Amino acid sequence: MDLTDSLVLEEKLHNCTKEELIAKVKELQAHNVQLRSIIQKPGKHGTAQDIYC
């Protein structure tokens, strides 16, 4: 993501309603939980580090 993308995203967020922002935050929180579970899964050697090999 470059600066232009970031500015466009920021403007879109400023135009959101409170309800839309709350929904977006909940969506991102759920996505973060999924990512954490993927990262923390033990690999073939029993460590979470295996995902980076």
Q: Using CA atoms, how far apart are residues 4 and 32, in angstroms rounded to an integer? A: 24
Domain that includes residue 18, residue range: 3-52
- The predicted pLDDT at position 53 comes to 45
| DSSP per-residue codes, 6-25 | HHHHHHHHHTS-HHHHHHHH
- The predicted pLDDT at position 44 comes to 65
- The predicted pLDDT at position 11 comes to 94
Count how many domains the chain has: 1
* pTM of the entire predicted model: 0.59
Q: Using CA atoms, how far apart are residues 3 and 20, in angstroms rounded to an integer? A: 23
Given a contact cutoff of 8 angstroms between Cβ atoms, the answer to whether 48 and 40 are in contact is yes
Tens digits of residue pLDDT in 1-53: 788 999 999 999 999 999 999 999 999 999 999 999 988 877 666 665 555 54
Which is nearest to 35 in space by CA: 48, 47, 20, 22? Answer: 48
